[in-house]
Structure 1
Amino acid sequence: MKTTYFRFALATLCLALTACESTDIPQPTLDAAPDFSEHAQHATYQKAVEDYAGTNRIPGAVLAIKKENAPLWIGATGYSNLEHHTTMQVNTPFRAGSIAKTFVATAVMLLKDEGKFGLDDKLADLLPASKGQIPQAEQITLRQLLAHTSGIFDPTNDDTQYQLDLVNNPARRGAMTPDEVLRRYVYGRSLLFEPGERFSYSNSNYMLIGRIIEQQTGKSLQTVLDEQIIQPLGLTGTYLEKRDDRNVARGYADFYANDKLMDVTALDRAEADGGAYGGLISTAADLFRFSEALFGEKLVGPAALQEMLTPYPVRQGTTTYGLGVDQWESEILGTGYGNNGTLAGTEANVFYFPQKKATFVLMANFGSGTRKGFLDSLLD
């Protein structure tokens, strides 16, 4: 999920004044973690993730590496919970941010194949509540929502009032339904541009897609993801719905750039949990399994996958974003496909590089951005 440093600045001013959550942070109770120490590259990979955490001065991280003709390796370093000095484990769940979008887009493609709707169906038809509330809802297509070319305003990144409301009262924001967020911050706002004209990342697009899925199926988004993706793939550490899960890695940020970390889990939980645009909770192993299935055409067929990978053509500018799938360009590895998720206190990445038949998952409980150039040499 795209974030703004403006929100970070607001948080530094407001967190000290706001009772974000109780100071009684629960002790994690995670089951024993799998052991990857017998992997031939264990020492090399483990040093890499430890160096990554040290260089970026982050509390903890989990790294998964899968190369062609080699088994999966997962390693962890640091802490998932600084309050209790809980050691990060390879099966520690993380808030995965916008990787939720890739799950939701995959569900859309599967529902399309079932005849629930078409990618060129109009927003007003799929979600009648949007008619008269979002300009040109009769012209905006589901495809444009998936590709961030709808022109719909994004309060989570561009609305001062939204950001003030979030940091001043996270509990209130966390209790809001998607419909309430749409009514308060999105409906009635002008489009940024004509639908299809250009690319502009907007979490509102996927908030609307989540509601479309629920309206068109008569099921909760969690149930749809369970039926279409999570249960078929056996993703036992993955969910979207709001849960009180003490094992999820706490989120931290260095707002003042002084190496003093603040626990911002309350902000991440309030803004993202349960949301189609950024509420996914998952583990490194589950994200790898999902990536392997998606890009291996085990979830969607070749034609549907190609649609997801292909950037939507725009009339102005350029974009590397397909339908819920972004690109990672590397001179060494070629083009990778997957997504990045960033919240105030966490970062998650999963990308597959078809040229090398290699995949990485990298998750860190630090949300200010990290340097990841070391991955080129590991995956080459």
Structure 2
Amino acid sequence: MHRTPLSRRTFGRLTGAAGAGLLAGGALTGTAHAATWRTTGTAVAALTAFDTQMKTFMQARGIPAGQLAVTYGGRLVLARGYSTDSTLTVQPTSLFRIASLSKPITAAAVLRLAQDGQLALDTPVTSILDLPATADARWPQITVRRLLQHLGGWDRAISGDPNFADRTISRVLGVPLELYPDDVIRYMAGRRLDHTPGTTYAYSNFGYLLAGRVIEEVSGLAYADYVRQKLLAPLGITRMAQGWSIARHTGEVPYRSQYSGVTVLDSSGATVPSPYGTFSMRVHGANGGWIASAVDLVRWARVFDQPSAVLNSASLGQVFAQPETGIGSGGSYYGLGWLVRPVSGGTGRNTWHDGSLPGTYTLMVRNYQGASWAVLFNQRDDASGLSYSDIDAALWTAYRAVTSWPSGDQFPSYF
């Protein structure tokens, strides 16, 4: 699900443009004129550097569909869809799987429950969920906060990622494919933790799967229903939904990969295209299951700019507070659903998250000077072997090329 955020970055040695907000260079070179582009949305002369970087990036990697939205001072200043496929028109409102950009949403849902007095962040997960007997006595040290900060004690570098171990879990538990989240929980309860909770940062999709179940148990609602009611509806966001493993929602783009694999949606052993059945969207709901447009995402990201009816000032303070451990170079860390790098000036921080699934690569950045952007692609691999995380430096280069920001706001055009 998750790729190391941005180029050359692992947690503990975080470097790169979106993390630092200070690095120069990173412009993509080459030309984009060879492709036949189908571009939608309003072109903005002052922001042509963004179009140039997007087209150059996509052409170099053979990406058929991309989307970008940019805000400045809370205003939507650019919303664009890009395609090199003559059969596909990408609108600014087209829907993409957003992969791990789902995690800031899940973290905010937990914070909203805490804000409403329905749970405390330092409550052990074992006090909330009716878990099976665990094989490790340290489970009561796994708090809700530690789930959201990737301090729960699981380490996929050691034991693998259970959210992608569907066939193993099916075999061990004797349950049929396609799995449910509770199957993954039961499997993980029978395994020892890799670290004592709270001692080691290790990115964990499973921790966010558990957080999704916490939301359901405490709220009494299905995870997606709670998010829609408490987080999205107050902002007028109606397009976002939980994605499906095979079928596509109206307005959702197709996904492309050069790879294939064995399906995890049943026990047939059939070989399927990687984006369509080598992982289960049902399992990944809370850690990577949402679909959205880039416009939806930057509208959503405004929640973190200032206190509102969705998240108050105390909740926002929790989002960006330093964890008990896992502080990287330059003071970077994972807060509650966002990677955070303190910087001088402006808001005092850059925050970002990326996401990755077969057929999907995504990035969302909120910078210290009041700009934000979300970029979505319907592919994450190609024959060139070029890095997808380079889109981070490319968009920072485009941002720095702007000499005058538009005064208008396109948000009213995209409800």
Class of the TM-score when normalised by the shorter of the 2 chains: 0.7 to 0.9
Correspondence for 1:24: none
Q: Residues of 1 paired with 2:301 and 2:177: CA distance?
A: 29
Say if 1:134 and 1:115 are closer, same or farther in 2 by CA, change over 3 A: farther
| Partner SS state of residue 216, structure 1 | helix
Answer whether contact 1:36 1:42 (CA < 8 A) is retained.
no
The Cα shift of 1:240 comes to: 2.3
Across the aligned residues of Structure 1 and Structure 2, the Cα RMSD in angstroms comes to: 3.5
Aligned equivalent of 1:175, options 178, 181, 189: 178
Q: Aligned residue for 2:302?
A: 292
* 1:68–1:159 Cα change, 3 Å: closer
Contact 1:272–1:279 (8 Å) recurs in 2: yes
Q: 1:136 aligns with which of 110, 131, 138?
A: 138
Give the Cα separation in 1 of the matches to 2:121 and 2:334. Answer: 16
Alignment check: 8 A CA contact 1:155 1:162 kept: no
Instruction: Indicate how the Cα distance of structure 1 residues 270 and 315 shifts in structure 2: closer, same or farther if over 3 A, else same.
Output: closer
Show CA shifts across 1:231-256 (max 9, x none): 11111221126474253222223459
Alignment partner of 1:324 is 2:337: yes
Which range is displaced more, 140-149 or 61-70?
61-70
What secondary structure is seen at the aligned counterpart in 2 of 1:72?
strand
SS in 1 for 2:131: helix
* Residue 307 of structure 2 is aligned to residue 307 of structure 1: no
1:54 aligns with 2:56: no
| Residue in structure 1 matched with residue 375 of structure 2 by the alignment | 362
**Contact 2:74–2:371 (8 Å) recurs in 1:** no
SS at match of 2:202: coil
Letter aligned with residue 152 of structure 1: W
- Return the TM-score normalized by structure 1: 0.78
CA contact (8 A) 1:62 1:75 kept: yes
Please show how residues 111-260 of structure 1 align to structure 2 within 5 Å: 111-132=113-134, 135-152=137-154, 154=156, 158=160, 162-163=164-165, 165=167, 175-184=178-187, 186-240=188-242, 242=244, 244-245=248-249, 247-255=251-259
- 1:203 to 1:304, Cα distance in 2 relative to 1, 3 A: same
Could you say if the C-alpha distance between residues 205 and 70 of structure 1 is closer, same or farther in structure 2, counting changes exceeding 3 Å? closer
Structure 1 runs not aligned, ≥5 long: 5-32, 257-261
| CA spacing shift, 1:222–1:174, aligned 2, 3 Å | farther
Question: Which of the numbers 370, 376, 380 marks the counterpart of 2:396?
Answer: 376
Counterpart position of 1:102? 104
8 A contact 2:341–2:349 mirrored in 1: yes
Following superposition, the deviation at residue 349 of structure 1 comes to: 1.3
In structure 2, relative to structure 1, the CA distance for the partners of 1:67 and 1:265 (3 Å cut) is: same
The structure with the greater share of residues assigned to helix is 1
Query: 1:341-356 alignment to 2 at 5 Å?
Result: 341-354=355-368, 356=369
Q: Write the distance in 1 (CA, Å) between the matches of 2:69 and 2:151.
A: 32
What SS does the corresponding residue of 2:83 show, helix, strand or coil?
strand
Query: Hey, what's the Cα distance between the residues in 1 that align with 2:176 and 2:92?
Result: 31
Q: Contact conserved, 2:179 with 2:283, CA < 8 A, in 1?
A: no
Range with bigger deviation, 193-202 or 133-142? 133-142
Report the CA distance between 1:178 and its aligned residue: 0.5
Q: 1:378 offset after TM fit, Å?
A: 1.9
SS in structure 1 at match of 2:311: coil
- CA shift, 1:273, in A, is 6.7
Is the alpha carbon distance of 1:308 and 1:160 closer, same or farther for their aligned partners in structure 2, counting shifts above 3 Å?
A: closer
Give distance in 2, aligned partners of 1:62 and 1:222: 24
After TM superposition, give the deviation of residue 137 of structure 1 in Å. Answer: 2.1
Equivalent residue, structure 2, for 1:67: 72
Q: Which moved more, 1:68-77 or 1:219-228?
A: 68-77
Amino acid at match of 2:203: Y
CA distance in 2, matches of 1:140, 1:312: 14
Amino acid at match of 2:41: D
Aligned with 1:337: secondary structure? Answer: strand
Letter in 1 for 2:249: D
Q: Give unmatched runs, 5+ long, in structure 2.
A: 5-38, 261-271, 382-386, 401-415
Please report how far the alpha carbon of residue 367 of structure 1 lies from its aligned counterpart in structure 2 after TM superposition.
Answer: 2.0
How many angstroms apart in 2 are the aligned matches of 1:165 and 1:364? Answer: 28
From the superposition, tell whether residues 49 and 232 of structure 1 become closer, same or farther in structure 2 (CA, over 3 Å). Answer: same
Native 8 Å contact 2:163 2:205 kept in 1: no
Q: 1:268 to 1:112 in 2, by over 3 A?
A: farther
Match of 1:277 in 2: 287
Question: Structure 1: how far apart are the matches of 2:398 and 2:327?
Answer: 37
Q: TM-score, normalised by structure 2?
A: 0.72
Where 1:2 maps in the other structure, the secondary structure is coil
Find out whether 1:36 has 2:49 as its counterpart: no
